[in-house]
């Protein structure tokens, strides 16, 4: 019964909301609005689970691993300081300590972490982009042409820009469309399997 009830809920909700799409009436819009609104409220209340999990894990690291204690402490300190500085709704406005910490701690670190990828992608291009076969040459050739558009080469640039435009809107578009249709069919099949109760991994184990 513990597994059956959720399966029935999924079946009923799934079918109701599929039908709702095809019947644009006041009543069906009412169901849609309330269904989505309720899902949002449920989702909002589920988010503290993630926050709690992270804090618990960091706290246990601090307690159990003396070598990691300092860094776990730094993380907890960061969390605590943001909580304290953001207690009032006014702190969401520019100029508050909460927003200054966001601007001068969170933004630079996050932005820099991702900027490291520039170095890794340069290294990856050097190691992986070798014309070993026709397929590899296709990959290398198109990437090369696309990258070349950022280098001013006089009249060659005009030809290159036109070529990049064509690559993006014809072969690239066709490749991505083929993938999209495949993804779409896969997603539809998964949705049907979930609604019919064939796919039930989301229930977890007992």
Partner 1 sequence: MTTVELLWNGLAAFLTLCIFSFLYKDNPFYKFAEQLVAGVALGYWTMLLYHTTFTDKVLIPIFQQGKLHYILPTIMGIMMWTRFSKKLAYLSRIAIAFYIGVGTGVALPLYMYNYVFRQLQATVVPLQFSWLGLNSLLMVSFVTCTLFYFFFSKEHKGTFGGLSKVGIYTLMAGFGASFGLTVMGRVALLVQRIIFLREYFIALFGS
Partner 2 sequence: MKWHEKMLNIDRRWIYLILGVAVIVPAVVSFHVPVNVTPEVRRVYDFIEDLKPGDIFYVGIDYDPASLAELHPMAYAILDQCFRKDIKPVVATLSQFGAGMAEQVLSEVAAEYGKESGIDYCYLGYKPYPAITIMLMGVDFRVPFPQDYYGTPIDSIPMMRYVHNFDDLKGVISLSAGTSSEFWIIYGYGRYFMPLALGVTGVMAADYYPYLQSGQIFGLISGIKGAAEYEALTEYKGEGLKSIPYQTTTHVVILAFIIVSNIGYFASRRSKK
Considering only 25, 27, 94, 150, the residue that binds partner 1 (CB under 8 A) is 150
Shortest distance, position 151 Cβ to partner 2, whole Å = 6
For tokens 């996050």, the residue is 110
* C-alpha distances in Å from residue 59, one per residue of 47, 51, 78, 81, 161: 19, 12, 13, 16, 54
Which residue in 60, 125, 189, 198 binds partner 2 (CB under 8 A)? 125
Q: Does 65 bind partner 1 (CB under 8 A)?
A: no
97 makes contact, choosing from partner 1, partner 2, none, with CB < 5 to 8 Å by partner type, with none
92, 99 Cβ separation under 8 angstroms: yes
Q: Could you say which DSSP state residue 102 is in?
A: I
Question: Which ranges of 66-170 does DSSP label H, i.e. alpha helix?
Answer: 69-85, 97-101, 107-115, 117-128, 134-148, 155-169
Q: How far apart are CA 198 and CA 192, in angstroms?
A: 8
Judged by CB under 8 A, which of 26, 27, 46, 155 binds partner 1?
A: 46
- Of residues 140 and 157, the one with the C-beta less far from partner 1: 140
Asked if 13 and 203 touch (Cβ cutoff 8 Å), the reply is: no
Q: Does 114 bind partner 2 (CB under 8 A)?
A: yes
Please report whether residue 158 would count as binding partner 1 according to CB under 8 A. Answer: no
Is there binding between residue 170 and partner 1 (CB under 8 A)? yes
How many other β-carbons are positioned within 10 Å of the β-carbon of residue 17? 15
Contact call for residue 44 and partner 2 (CB under 8 A): yes
Q: Which residues bind partner 2 (CB under 8 A)?
A: 29, 32-33, 36-37, 39-40, 43-44, 47, 89, 92-94, 99, 102-103, 106-108, 110-111, 113-115, 118-119, 121-123, 125-127, 129-132, 140, 144, 147-152, 157-158, 161, 165, 168-169, 172-173, 176-177, 180
């Amino acid at each position: 019964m513990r597994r059956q009830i959720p399966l029935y809920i999924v079946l009923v909700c799934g079918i109701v909301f599929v039908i709702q799409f095809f019947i644009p009436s006041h009543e069906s819009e009412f169901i849609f609005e309330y269904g989505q609104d309720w899902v949002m409220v449920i989702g909002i209340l589920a988010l503290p689970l993630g926050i709690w999990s992270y804090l618990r894990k960091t706290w246990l690291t601090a307690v159990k691993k003396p070598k990691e204690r300092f860094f776990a402490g730094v993380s907890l300190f960061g969390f605590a300081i943001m909580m304290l500085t953001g207690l009032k709704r006014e702190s969401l406005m520019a100029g508050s300590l909460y927003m200054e910490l966001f601007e001068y701690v969170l933004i630079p670190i996050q932005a820099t972490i991702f900027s490291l990828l520039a170095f890794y992608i340069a290294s990856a291009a050097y190691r992986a982009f070798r014309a070993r076969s026709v397929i590899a040459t296709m990959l290398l050739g198109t990437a090369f042409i696309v990258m070349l558009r950022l280098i001013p080469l006089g009249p060659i640039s005009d030809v290159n820009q036109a070529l990049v435009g064509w690559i993006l809107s014809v072969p690239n578009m066709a490749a991505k469309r083929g993938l999209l249709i495949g993804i779409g069919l896969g997603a539809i099949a998964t949705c049907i399997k979930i609604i019919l109760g064939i796919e039930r991994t989301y229930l977890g184990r007992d």
